[in-house]
Structure 1
Amino acid sequence: MKMSKKEKQETKTGKKKIKTWQIVTAVFAVILLALLVNIVKQSMGAAAAGTPVTTVQVLKGDITQTVDTSGSVESEESKTYFAQVGATIGELHVKAGDSVKTGDLLLSYDTADLEQALKQTELEAQVNAYGADITVASVDHAQQKAAQAQTDYDDSLKYIAHYTECVGQLTDQLNKANALQADEAALQAEIKELTAKVEKDDTDQESAKALKKKTKELEKIEKKLADYDVSNLQSALETCQGDLAEYKALKEQYDAAKEQDPTAGLQKKQQAVVKESAQLTEDRAKAELEKAKAGVTADFNGIVTNVAAVQGQTTVEGAELFTIQNADALKVSLAVSKYDIEKLAIGQKADITINGKSYTGEVSNISKVASTNNAGAVVIDTDIHIDNPDDNIVLGVEAKVSVKTAEEKNVLLVPIAAVNYASDGVFCYVAENGVLVRKEVETGISSDEYVQILSGLSEGDAVITDVTGDMTEGMAVTAVSADEADAQNAKQAE
């Protein structure tokens, strides 16, 4: 069967289309096959070379361990001034935030009231002194009178004893004289009677003998009576009796007067205390006036951080006036974590940065009591003494501190990233002959970049710094130095 021209044309066209599709499909198949082959080759090559890892060689060097933190600048010495005298504040010479030097006048008092008070106190002291002197003089006079009365009393006792003896002696003599006179009168009567008998009868020999005997006895008595002046004795007795009576009366008078006032000594002591008290009051008033005249001065170079005094106010002794913090003795107050505190010790040196300026210092105090900060973390207050403070430092400003806690020289060092911590110990991964090897290590001190290795590694070992969780000991690795890795990363970034 013959085809028309049109059918022949369509048949040719269809054959042409089939050939073109087949060609395109073949080309894509070839390209895809090439890509697959390339991927397989790369995969096989990578598997043969091992996983790339970044390594750093263990080296020897010096390392300094620091505790880096920040705190606020405070003064190591703070003094609150209290009023030493009750007086009106005349003038305030400082305000909060002012710098002061040793000896600067901080406050002046109005002393008019104190001067008037001193004058009044002096007058009162004089009045008290005069009153005390008068009382003491009166007591002294009374004591002198009592002492004289005692003397007179003692003398009266002597005179009474003397005149008592005198009266006794005179009375005895008068009694003897009176007895002789009585004997004389009796003899005279007997003699008179015997004489009458003899004159009547001269033969009465017995009466004559008796008369003779009595006459002799009378002569003896008259002779004895001649030794007594009865009149003078009587007069002397009366005189002695009068004197005795007088001194007995004086004795009673002196006995009452000699009694001392039992409070006399206490009165004198009391007046001495009154005078001393008045003098002390006067001295205090003088001292208060001197203090007020001197005003209040700064004891050291510092910053006025608080002013409680008010100009024109009348203060009482002990009232708060100022607070000054020493500007020559400064510190940085830190709140150190419990993890860092074990590294710190008194005397460790520190580098301090305040407002961009560097200072040196050292650890001066570590609190023995921990506290909790606002975040709930346990911290320990620590002070860093500033060795060389200057006028550029402002109290309360933030300060950065780096405390040098330890230092080692010429020791094995690895980057911090190379040290791994696990429940069973500390280790580093090392690339050895294309194989990942785990090595247990003992570490020493550390810095911001490096860790000291005490054992487990040797100088030159290639430790891995880009450790991942899928790494296992014994896997194939390709070591890439940190410098090469940095170069590749920089090239890719371009």
Structure 2
Amino acid sequence: MWKGRKGGLDQAGAENQEAEPMSEETFDLELQSLMTEETGGKKKKKKTGKTWTRKRKIVTGAGALGVVFLLLRIFSGGGAKPVTVSTIPLSKGEVVEMLSVSGPVQGTDSVEVVSNLHAEILELTVKEGDKVEKGQLLAALDDKDAKKEVDIAQNGYDLAVSTYKDKQLEAENGYAKAKQDYGMAKAAYDRSLLLFQGGDISQVELDQASAAVDDAQRQLSSYPLTDGKPSANESYGLQIEKAAFELEQKKEDLDGTKITSPIDGTVVRVNCKVGRFADKTDDDKPMFIISNLDVLEMKINVSEYSIGKVAIGQPVEISADILNGETVKGEVTAISPTGEEKGGGSTERVIPTTIRVMDQNTRLIAGITAKAKIELQRAKQVWVAPLSAVLQQPDGTMAVAAVEDGKVRMIPVKTGVESDIEAELIPQEEGALTEGLQIIDTPSSMITDGMAVTAAPPVQ
């Protein structure tokens, strides 16, 4: 029996007597004695700033009393009392593995409206927050210079067309004459050939007739033909094409003096003012930013280490300060086929991913940062235990420690789907896990198979 610090261990009593209940006063003296420090051969009591309850004394002195129990076991040859462990009943449930990310909320379709015209803004017809339709007027610019440019371009085009027509007529007339000259030269040669064969003309005269045919042939061939018909030189056609392109550009510039919305949406930014030039906006920002805010989405970056578990169609739970504790539903709708640098000097790569907000008419707005929890995996009606209950054994395998008939039974398991605090348990042996089985919720590495323990419910 433990008699206190005066006489050390009373071995005879330890062997032959049962432990007697301690009084409150005796318990306090024993605890204080255990917590005494040896300093230069003298004993000092640890100071405390407040009075301890009996419960706190027991918890705090548990480690020291463990040493005493070990000494008892060594000196008495008897077994120590079973270790008290906290257990929970095993049951089936649901485990969800989530990936938490954050990113900006924005419209599903967003465009920047700009102008390269150095023209004064005469009128702004919208303001930030206005809903607009595709083709709706946003701003009107001074169009005087643009109209002059169109007139000049039109004149250039008309001149090119007129020149082409003149050259085309010349080609047709020239080709007709060349064709006639060739026919006459060919007929003269045929007559000369007959005369030469009859000995009426010399070889020189025949050669002259032949040369006249060749000259006429070359002249005829100098006229290009299109589908068998003569046409003006190709360069005149190219001049028309160039003039037509320039005219089209000038007309587009004139149309550009009426700034319109390219999509249905909401005006989220206006970076221009009446009296300023359209191509000289505030900080060189676009004149307008139009976004479709009817459907919102989040642009997030997923780590290369997690992207393998992310898939299109996975449900997402979205939260933000503006929602005041509420959440909205989302869904993964796009995953980039390529990764990019995370930045900040990190070698980790991230993959841009899009989450569509599925709930409509929420308080979410574009431009804020929201948090999203992507549901990676969900397991239903499976054995579930706290992650702290899964013990890694010396050989690297996993197990849970069940308490049966006052003894520990190690049950080998694998973990399936894991949340932040719980895990799906998959027994290595079929039927090893049963409903209501008492397992230790936080087993120590000192717990071994077959160890005697006393099961106690977890502290509430």
Contact 1:121–1:281 (8 Å) recurs in 2? no
Sort the Cα spacing of 1:337 and 1:283 in 2 relative to 1 into closer, same or farther, 3 A.
Answer: closer
For residue 161 of structure 1, report the CA deviation from its aligned partner: 10
Who is 1:408 aligned against? Answer: 379
Q: TM-score by structure 2 length?
A: 0.61
Q: 1:57: how far off?
A: 0.6
**SS at 1:70's partner residue?**
strand
Report the counterpart of residue 91 of structure 2 in structure 1: 59
CA contact (8 A) 1:54 1:480 kept: yes
Superposed displacement of residue 362, structure 1: 1.8
Structure 1's 468 and 311: CA in aligned 2 closer, same or farther, altered over 3 A?
farther
Decide whether aligned partners of structure 1 residues 305 and 61 sit closer, same or farther in structure 2, where only a CA change above 3 A counts: same
Give the Cα–Cα distance (whole angstroms) in 1 for the partners of residues 259 and 361 of structure 2.
29
Aligned residue in 2 for 1:387: 358
Tell me the residue number matched to 1:360. 329
Q: Is the 8 A contact 1:52 1:480 kept in 2?
A: yes
Rounded Cα–Cα distance in structure 2 between residues aligned with 1:358 and 1:313 = 45
* 1:434 paired to 2:406: yes
* Correspondent of 1:119 among 151, 170, 180: 151
CA contact (8 A) 2:401 2:411 kept: yes
User: What amino acid is aligned across from residue 369 of structure 1 in structure 2?
Assistant: G
How far did residue 56 of structure 1 move?
A: 0.5
- Could you tell me how far 1:274 is from its partner in structure 2? 6.2
SS in 2 for 1:280: helix
Query: Contact 2:332–2:356 (CA<8 Å) still a contact in 1?
Result: yes
CA distance in 2, matches of 1:409, 1:391: 30
Conserved in 1, the CA contact under 8 Å of 2:304 and 2:348?
Answer: yes
Alignment of 1:48-447 (within 5 A): 50-81=82-113, 83=115, 86=117, 88=119, 90=121, 91=123, 100-147=132-179, 260=219, 265=224, 268-270=232-234, 272-273=236-237, 276-277=240-241, 280-281=244-245, 283-284=247-248, 287-288=251-252, 291-292=255-256, 294-302=258-266, 304=268, 307=271, 312-313=276-277, 323-337=289-303, 340-354=306-320, 355-356=322-323, 357-367=326-336, 368-369=338-339, 371-372=341-342, 374=344, 376=346, 378=348, 380-381=350-351, 382-390=353-361, 392-422=363-393, 424-447=396-419
Assess if the C-alpha contact under 8 Å between 2:182 and 2:220 holds in 1: no
Aligned mates of 1:410, 1:280 — CA distance in 2: 73
1:6 aligned residue: none
Higher relative contact order (CA 8 A, sep 6+): 1
Counterparts of 1:50 and 1:353 in 2: how far apart (Å)?
48
Distance 2:189 2:302 in 1: 97
Question: Structure 2 vs 1, CA of residues 458 and 291 (structure 1 numbering), >3 Å: closer, same or farther?
Answer: same
Q: 1:399 to 1:157 in 2, by over 3 A?
A: closer
**SS of equivalent residue, structure 2 residue 339:** strand
Unaligned stretches of 5+ in structure 2?
A: 1-21, 31-57, 59-64, 70-78, 201-208, 226-230
Amino acid at match of 1:402: K
TM-align CA RMSD: 5.0
Helix, strand or coil at the partner of 2:232:
helix
Code of the residue aligned with 1:350 in structure 2: it is V
Q: TM-score, structure 1 length as denominator?
A: 0.58
Partner of 1:480: 456
Please identify which structure carries the higher helix content: 1
The share of aligned pairs that are identical, in percent, is: 22
Q: What is the aligned residue count?
A: 368
User: Secondary structure, in 3 states, of the residue corresponding to 1:460?
Assistant: coil
Aligned residue identity for 1:115: K
